[in-house]
Structure 1
Amino acid sequence: MKRLILFIFSVFILNFSFAQLSKDQFSKLELALGERSFFNGHLTGFMLYDLDSQMVLYEKNSQLRFIPASTTKLFTLFSSIAILGDSTQTARYVSSGDTLRIWGSGDPTWGYLDFENEALTKLILAHETVIFSDSNMDSPAFGYGWQWDDYYYDYSAERSPLPLRGNLLNVRKVNGRPQVFPARFQKDINITNRTIRELERDFHSNTFSYNPNNFRGREEYIPLIMSPELFVSLAAEETNRNWFYSPDSLPESHTLLRGEPLFPILKEMMLESDNFLAEQLMLMVSDRLFERLDTERAIEYMLKTYLFDLPDIPNWVDGSGLSRHNLFTPRSMIALFEKLYRMVPDEQLFEILPTGGVSGTLETSYQAQEPYIFAKTGTMSNNHSLVGLIKTKSGKTFAFAFMNTNYPYKASVVRREMEKVMVMIRDML
């Protein structure tokens, strides 16, 4: 018994000392993040965590809540992997002869980006008539706390049960004028004298305006207002089938269609910080759990089950992080990330995380001959965060959460100062 106690004690001491910074290392971090540093000019939260010993190396304000912006997608990533497994929830349906009755399950891949939803297309084309219902959709088109003036930007597309082409209008500049697809909206474009530089949608309708003298054509996509009636009309054009809208309830006896592989969707969401994919993923999680599309309910379930043991209960309201009502602490971000680290194979995890100087939202920052930052970014006016992994010169990998809020300058200024801290950590550990 004495030998066992001595052994356990020695292991504890080894782990404890392994997870400690030297006095010099601690002083360097205190100087970089403390009262005399750049980060004392606004609120900053930071935690550095040893994944091997499962101990904290350093923290500052890790118990305070910050607006996470797109680092919220780490919670969506975890939920998707935990609940959806390896493929999407595409639709629930009842087939009777040449008629298909269909309820969307939130799958975002139909005609969006380079995704191909062959299973859905095959199902639809096997019927002459399609009756669409959205009665299973409980969440509104926009998330709680989304900013109203984002309505004409592609990163704020509407949520829906069965999206087509991302619920977006494609815009191209042809001979100095906007040309749009679907082409049916070309007639709804008007000329304006307002000093706008892009094609802009009216707040309440799918009508559009541009100024020929200022038109740049750099915004490639504009969100559409997707009523059920518009959806069935566009779906009929897309499939050459007869589509009708009837908000019938989902019957108990129906078939579930699981369509696309999940990993490519998760990878696109993480690398490009795709808000639309994130929101639709949470709808699919809800469909899998409850046969209803209710993001709020899905979030509540995840927090009460898989995430009940987070150090601080998050204020988590959407899948993308567009809402300013989201509030997470750095230490809860670390706890969540550790769950991902244990759940996802290393090869896949490093593939879906943006890599400094290499891929995704970190392609032009944290550049180095040997990549050392693998993390999800989150940026919103006056808020910038980075959560993920850092590989140090010694070959070790640590998790970190670096969150900033209430700064009065551009995010690029904060990012440069954060990079100095991360380079220092890379070199000294």
Structure 2
Amino acid sequence: MPDMIQRGIFLFLLLSFHFRLFAQIKKENYLVLEKALGPESFFNGHLTGFMLYDLDSQHVEFEKNSQIRILPASTTKLFTLFASLVILQDSTQTLRYVSAGDTLKIWGAGDPTWKYKEFAQPDFQRIIGNHTIIQFSDANQVSPAFGYGWQWDDYYYDYSAERSSLPIYGNLIQVKKIGNRPDVSPAFFKNQVFTTSKPFKELERDFHSNRFYFNPSTFLGREQFIPFLNTPDVFVQLAEAETGKKWIYKPEPLPVDHKHWRGSLLSPILKEMMLESDNFLAEQLLFMVSDRLFQTLDTERAIEYMLKTYLFDLPDQPKWVDGSGLSRHNLFTPRSMVTLFEKLYRLLPEAELNEYLAIGGKTGTLKNSFQAAQPYIFAKTGSMSNNYSLVGLIKTKSGKNYAFAFMNTNFPYPASTVRKEVEKVMVMVRDGF
């Protein structure tokens, strides 16, 4: 019996030593991060929020200012991704329609793929059939072309294309430099290009119209895409050229008795939205979410629904106003971002989730950063003037999976400077946790 007691005491002491050693290692890790983000660190010069969360034990390993709301920029697209997956599931919303003799009445449902990038195209001819006239209505679109809090002077940049119920060409013209002049497509816009003596380096659009100007002496032709003003008149002319049918615009309300067409596979759109941080796709995805839920295109209503249902349990109520993160009115806390990411992590198999995330040193917006022989960062970036955030999954050398949100705002230097410092901290996490 004494031998058994001695063996028990020895085992107890051994386990106690093990747990003390484990706790000491955890404390050392904590202190490393505390120093890296503390008063004498680079991050003390601006507002930083950080959270590191063990996805297996569901335990917060480290946090700093995780309760403070920070402008998320394009990490907002994680919320759009989640809404799209749970509401749209596997396919787009494309059209709602009614057949009336030789006329097909249609209401766009937000599908962004028509003549945009390399997406599989909706088979409009199958829906049009023998109809000779297409009557188009956008009366179901509640949200305006531009989002709440977007910067007005972004209107001529490709990342700020207009939202619409049935986009075509991504609501962009394409620009190619031929000699010292721009060549634009679609052809509809060719006679809308004019010269100017102003020192424009690119083709620039008039704010109020589809008149485009360039200076042959200073034209560089680096901007390959420019948004056009998507008026109903412009849209029906573009649609006629693509379909060979007569289109007319008549903003009738959507009748109760109508048919519904879901035209495209959703996953390629989600991947492009996430990996390339495509703002236009993000906005159209929320339009489609709204159409599926309410048969109207109302971003505000779709967001309100998601926050009251699938996202009611976020630690902090976010201020979420658009799909892309272009708005400076968006405000999320790091711990709400981590909670949202955990929802995605539980919703999808890890391999599938990683297809929607940029991989450090490999794909998307992280292709040229976080490089390592073994990829360890799978995340969404978000950056705009004075803001840089990174939210996603980090795989450590010990084999652990952690969700994290690293959000920075109000800094006076380039986002690339902050990104490099963020990378140093994430290497510490990779190697030490």
Task: Note closer, same or farther for the CA distance 1:122–1:70 as it changes in structure 2 (3 Å cut).
Answer: same
Conserved? CA contact 2:113–2:122, under 8 Å: no
User: Which of 109, 113, 120 in structure 2 is aligned with 1:109?
Assistant: 113
Structure 2 Cα separation of the partners of residues 126 and 165 of structure 1: 25
Which residue does 2:87 correspond to in 1?
Answer: 83
Structure 1 Cα separation of the partners of residues 109 and 151 of structure 2: 26
- Mapping 1:3-42, distance limit 5 Å: 22-42=26-46
Q: Deviations over 1:51-70 (max 9, x none)?
A: 01111000000000000000
User: Which of 235, 249, 256 in structure 2 is aligned with 1:252?
Assistant: 256
What SS class does the counterpart of residue 92 from structure 1 fall into? strand
Task: Note closer, same or farther for the CA distance 1:142–1:364 as it changes in structure 2 (3 Å cut).
Answer: same
RMSD (Å) for aligned C-alpha atoms: 1.6
Superposed displacement of residue 405, structure 1: 0.3
Which residue does 1:296 correspond to in 2?
Answer: 300
Amino acid at match of 1:351: E
Structure 2 Cα separation of the partners of residues 21 and 406 of structure 1: 34
What SS class does the counterpart of residue 93 from structure 1 fall into? strand
Structure 2 Cα separation of the partners of residues 308 and 359 of structure 1: 32
Amino acid at match of 1:363: K
Q: Does 1:272 align with 2:264?
A: no
Superposed displacement of residue 118, structure 1: 3.2
Which residue does 1:165 correspond to in 2?
Answer: 169
User: Which of 111, 129, 132 in structure 1 is aligned with 2:133?
Assistant: 129
Which residue does 1:319 correspond to in 2?
Answer: 323
Amino acid at match of 2:31: S
- Mapping 1:390-409, distance limit 5 Å: 390-409=394-413
Q: Deviations over 1:170-197 (max 9, x none)?
A: 1111122100011222222111222221
Amino acid at match of 1:78: F
Q: Does 1:141 align with 2:145?
A: yes
Superposed displacement of residue 20, structure 1: 9.3
- Mapping 1:333-372, distance limit 5 Å: 333-372=337-376
Structure 2, unpaired ranges of 5+: 1-15
Q: Which is worse superposed, 22-31 or 119-128? A: 119-128
Task: Note closer, same or farther for the CA distance 1:51–1:61 as it changes in structure 2 (3 Å cut).
Answer: same
Q: Deviations over 1:309-353 (max 9, x none)?
A: 000000000000000000000000000000000001211111110
How does the TM-score come out when normalised to structure 2?
0.94
Q: Deviations over 1:61-86 (max 9, x none)?
A: 00000000000000000000010110
Structure 1, unpaired ranges of 5+: 1-12
Conserved? CA contact 2:105–2:135, under 8 Å: yes
Larger radius of gyration: 2
Which residue does 1:286 correspond to in 2?
Answer: 290
Structure 1 Cα separation of the partners of residues 411 and 82 of structure 2: 29
What SS class does the counterpart of residue 405 from structure 2 fall into? strand
Which residue does 2:237 correspond to in 1?
Answer: 233
Amino acid at match of 2:203: L
Structure 2 Cα separation of the partners of residues 420 and 133 of structure 1: 52
Task: Note closer, same or farther for the CA distance 1:189–1:21 as it changes in structure 2 (3 Å cut).
Answer: farther
Amino acid at match of 1:296: E
Amino acid at match of 2:288: M
State the identity %.
67
Q: Does 1:224 align with 2:224?
A: no
- Mapping 1:177-256, distance limit 5 Å: 177-256=181-260
Conserved? CA contact 1:21–1:57, under 8 Å: no
Superposed displacement of residue 121, structure 1: 4.1
Which residue does 1:7 correspond to in 2?
Answer: none
Amino acid at match of 2:170: G
Conserved? CA contact 1:19–1:56, under 8 Å: no
Task: Note closer, same or farther for the CA distance 1:225–1:26 as it changes in structure 2 (3 Å cut).
Answer: same
Conserved? CA contact 1:65–1:330, under 8 Å: yes
Conserved? CA contact 2:177–2:221, under 8 Å: yes
Structure 2 Cα separation of the partners of residues 92 and 282 of structure 1: 17
Q: Deviations over 1:269-325 (max 9, x none)?
A: 000000000000000000000001000000001001110000000000000000000
Amino acid at match of 2:291: D
Which residue does 2:11 correspond to in 1?
Answer: none
Structure 1 Cα separation of the partners of residues 268 and 386 of structure 2: 31
Q: Which is worse superposed, 172-181 or 121-130? A: 121-130
Which residue does 1:3 correspond to in 2?
Answer: none
Q: Deviations over 1:27-51 (max 9, x none)?
A: 1101111111000010000000000
What SS class does the counterpart of residue 172 from structure 1 fall into? strand
Superposed displacement of residue 117, structure 1: 2.4
Structure 1 Cα separation of the partners of residues 243 and 320 of structure 2: 38
Which residue does 2:6 correspond to in 1?
Answer: none
Amino acid at match of 2:115: G
Superposed displacement of residue 124, structure 1: 2.8
Q: Deviations over 1:193-216 (max 9, x none)?
A: 222211000111100111111111
What SS class does the counterpart of residue 155 from structure 1 fall into? helix
Superposed displacement of residue 136, structure 1: 0.4
Superposed displacement of residue 119, structure 1: 3.2
Q: Which is worse superposed, 153-162 or 184-193? A: 184-193
Q: Which is worse superposed, 98-107 or 119-128? A: 119-128
Q: Deviations over 1:137-165 (max 9, x none)?
A: 00000000000010000000000000011
Conserved? CA contact 1:125–1:241, under 8 Å: no
Structure 1 Cα separation of the partners of residues 125 and 155 of structure 2: 29
What SS class does the counterpart of residue 358 from structure 2 fall into? coil
Corresponding residue pairs, total:
415
User: Which of 28, 40, 55 in structure 2 is aligned with 1:51?
Assistant: 55
Task: Note closer, same or farther for the CA distance 1:268–1:308 as it changes in structure 2 (3 Å cut).
Answer: same
Task: Note closer, same or farther for the CA distance 1:317–1:239 as it changes in structure 2 (3 Å cut).
Answer: same
Superposed displacement of residue 19, structure 1: 9.8
Superposed displacement of residue 26, structure 1: 1.0
Conserved? CA contact 1:195–1:211, under 8 Å: yes
